[in-house]
Amino acid sequence: MDFFGLSFEPRLEEVILRLEKEGEESRFWNVPRSSAVLLHSLVELTGARNVLEIGTSNGYSGLFLSHAAAKNGGRLYTVESHNERFSLAQQHFAEAGMDSSIVQIKGHAPEVLDEIDKTIRFDFVFIDATKMEYEQYVPAILPFLNEGSLLVADNILSHWNDLKGFVEKIEADENFESYLLDMDSGLLIFFTNL
């Protein structure tokens, strides 16, 4: 199967393809494959080892993120508050053989970030959760970032009315350099100048 040049182990590929097929009829709003591949490429190319995802959903994007992090010798930490989605993702991670590269965190961000080991520094963060809370996530994540950490926020264009203030805050914040990528649902790519 063509994943834009990416190759996956058969177990992982089977789960990804199944989630894509199910996604056409389910209530889960996974990122499109093109966005998932971009996330994988960004993690792999930057050498990111510790990756944070806010909004696990059913685990689709987490499979791409964890695969890239594992290639770099790292792991994915992924946060989900919804019981059903948390359990489904857990099942999908195990079926894909990726569960040893993933730390699932059950709870609501940003509060649950207090439970993460304060010595961990994230090289890459993907935000794809409750849109009206994006502005709260970034200050909670800042203590966990390195200089040059890369962050990506999804749904910027598809939810512009909800996220316009968030984008304006990031663009005005001297701690970040940002770029709005007009693809799929709109991705805000920003990195730290800490």
The per-residue pLDDT for 75 is 97
Rounded Cα gap, residues 165 and 192, in angstroms: 19
CA 33, distance to chain mean position in Å, is 13
d(C-alpha 43, C-alpha 182), whole Å: 19
| Percent of the chain predicted with pLDDT > 70 | 94
Report the C-alpha gap between 194 and 182 in whole angstroms. Answer: 26
Tell me how far apart the alpha carbons of residues 77 and 8 are, in angstroms, rounded to a whole number: 20
Amino acid (one-letter) located at 131: K
Report the C-alpha gap between 47 and 31 in whole angstroms.
22
- pLDDT value for 25: 64
User: For 1-24, what is each residue's pLDDT tens digit?
Assistant: 556 667 888 999 999 999 998 876
Residue 66 CA, chain-centre distance (Å), reads 9
Is 26's pLDDT higher than 70? no
Query: What is the C-alpha to C-alpha distance for residues 127 and 69, in angstroms, rounded to an integer?
Result: 16
Beta strands 122-127; 50-54: pairing state? parallel
Residue 35 has pLDDT above 70, yes or no: yes
pTM, two decimal places: 0.94
Q: Which pLDDT tens digit goes with each residue over 111-168? A: 998 888 889 999 999 999 999 999 999 999 999 999 999 999 999 999 999 999 999 9
